[in-house]
A and B are shown apart, each in its own frame.
Chain A
Amino acid sequence: MANRVCLGNRNGVSGLFVSRPGYDVLTTDDANLMFDSRNRGIWVHSRGSIVFPAGVKTRTIPIVGLSFQPIVEFCNSYISDYWGGQIVYSTYMEAWSINVTSSQLTMTTTLSFTSPVTIYYTIYGIPF
Chain B
Amino acid sequence: MANRTILGKNNLNKYGLYVSKPGINVDQASLPEHYSFNSDWSSGAVIHFSGTIAEGQTLYFPLLPYMPLIMSWGIKADGSQAGRYRLSWGYEDRYYVPGLSEYESEYYSISYEGPLLENGYGHVTFPSFNGPSYAGSIHPYAKFVVLRTPAS
Contact = CB atoms under 8 A, between A and B. Distances in A.
Interface of A: 4-5, 7, 16, 18, 20-21, 29-36, 39-42, 69, 71-73, 86-90, 92-94, 96-100, 126, 128
Nearest to B17: A5
A97 B52 CA distance: 19
A34 B38 CA distance: 10
A89 B45 contact: no
Contacts of A35: 17, 37, 39, 44, 46
Contacts of B91: 86
Contact of B52 (A40, A86, A93, A128): A128
Given A87-B86, A93-B82, A94-B138, A36 B105 contact: no
A7 B7 contact: yes
B120 interface: no
Which applies to chain B's interface (DSSP): helix, strand, loop or mixed?
Answer: strand
Given A71-B73, A89-B84, A5 B39 contact: yes
A73 B84 contact: yes
A106 to B, nearest CB: 9
